[in-house]
């Protein structure tokens, strides 16, 4: 009885060649080109890589060419539309990818998250440009490396192949960390005063303005002033949004 053989390392480009090309790369584009050559046997394309912010919600600090690197194979126009939407809306798949222990496809992410309404925007934009599926690989919760395909990956993405692609993405991310520009300095990060943090911390526990004023020994108007200043610094629309942003930036527990 015949059995279907699973892809092995021998069916992919030689790992020694791949690692040698990555080590020899001195530019992020060269690292992604080496990964692309490795992935085309699947066949897959490299979408790019992103160095995640230390603060969970500090997405606005990311810059193309410093923290985000795109491969030339991406469909023309996709990034411009995605970046425009990402400035206004949250991509739920990013947090899913960041917290995953193993590489996951967009098809799998959609099944788990079951997005509705506005949360479907990343998938709708991708389909518009011919991207049918992605394989996102989180590396040490610091990088995300993504492959893309013009068809669903389920039929071709065997467990051994997934492991190899994850390992390749991890090796590429390690080299990207070495050759890319430094991340944003502390001067570019959000800084709240001790009083603003204290007020936000109490609000996050459900305390009212009057409660916070009594507990901190401040006047009601002073507490409101601290909240308003914190909102502006965090780019928040209201106090609940400010608390959410402070938590996502890991400014308060």
- For the chain, the domains span 9-179, 190-248
The Cβ of residue 82 has, within 10 Å, a number of other Cβ atoms equal to 18
Interior/surface letters 42-63, b for 16+ CB within 10 angstroms, e for the rest: bebbbbbbbbbbebebbbebbe
- What does the DSSP 8-state code read for residue 76? T
Conformational region of residue 132, where left means phi above 0, alpha means psi within -120 to 50, and beta covers everything else: alpha
Rounded CA-CA distance 88/15 in Å is 40
The answer to whether the beta carbons of residues 59 and 75 sit under 8 Å apart is no
Is pTM, for the whole model, over 0.75? no
Where does 62-208 have alpha helices with state H? Answer: 78-86, 92-99, 106-113, 121-128, 159-179, 194-204
pLDDT recorded at residue 63: 87
Equal fold, 9-179 vs 190-248:
no
Residues in the chain: 253
pLDDT recorded at residue 60: 65
In this structure, whether the domain defined by 190-248 belongs to CATH 3.40.50.300 is answered with no
pLDDT recorded at residue 183: 65
In this structure, whether the domain defined by 9-179 belongs to CATH 1.10.1370.40 is answered with no
Spell out the per-residue pLDDT of the chain, length 253, in tens. Answer: 444 454 455 545 467 889 999 999 999 999 999 999 999 888 899 999 999 876 555 566 788 999 999 999 999 999 999 999 988 887 877 777 777 778 899 888 888 888 899 999 999 999 999 999 999 999 988 899 999 999 999 878 899 899 999 999 999 999 999 999 876 554 456 889 999 999 999 999 999 999 999 999 999 999 999 999 999 999 999 999 999 988 877 788 7
Q: Which residues contact 211 (CB under 8 A, 6 or more apart)?
A: 202
Phi, psi of 249 (to 5 degrees): -85, 0
The answer to whether the beta carbons of residues 174 and 185 sit under 8 Å apart is no
């Amino acid at each position: 009885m015949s059995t279907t053989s699973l892809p092995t390392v021998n069916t992919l480009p030689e790992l020694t060649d791949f690692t040698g090309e990555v080590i020899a790369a001195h530019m992020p584009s060269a690292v992604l080109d080496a990964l692309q050559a490795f992935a085309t046997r699947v066949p897959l394309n490299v979408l790019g890589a992103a160095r995640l912010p230390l603060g969970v919600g500090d997405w606005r600090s990311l810059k193309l060419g410093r923290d985000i690197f795109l491969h030339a194979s991406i469909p023309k126009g996709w990034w411009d539309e995605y970046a425009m939407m990402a400035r206004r809306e949250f991509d739920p798949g990013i947090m899913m990818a960041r917290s995953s222990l193993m590489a996951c496809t967009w098809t799998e992410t959609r099944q788990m998250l079951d997005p509705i309404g506005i949360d479907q925007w990343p998938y709708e934009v991708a389909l518009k440009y011919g991207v049918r599926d992605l394989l996102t690989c989180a590396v040490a919760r610091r990088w995300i490396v993504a492959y893309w395909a013009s068809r669903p990956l389920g039929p071709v993405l065997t467990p051994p192949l997934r492991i190899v692609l994850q390992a390749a993405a991890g090796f590429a991310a390690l080299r990207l960390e070495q050759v890319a520009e430094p991340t944003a300095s502390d001067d570019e990060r959000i800084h709240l005063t001790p009083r603003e943090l204290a007020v936000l911390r109490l609000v996050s526990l459900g305390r009212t303005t009057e409660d916070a004023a009594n507990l901190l020994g401040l006047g009601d108007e002073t507490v409101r002033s601290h909240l308003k200043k914190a909102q502006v610094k965090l780019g928040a629309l209201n106090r609940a949004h400010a608390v959410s942003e402070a938590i996502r930036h890991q400014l308060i527990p």
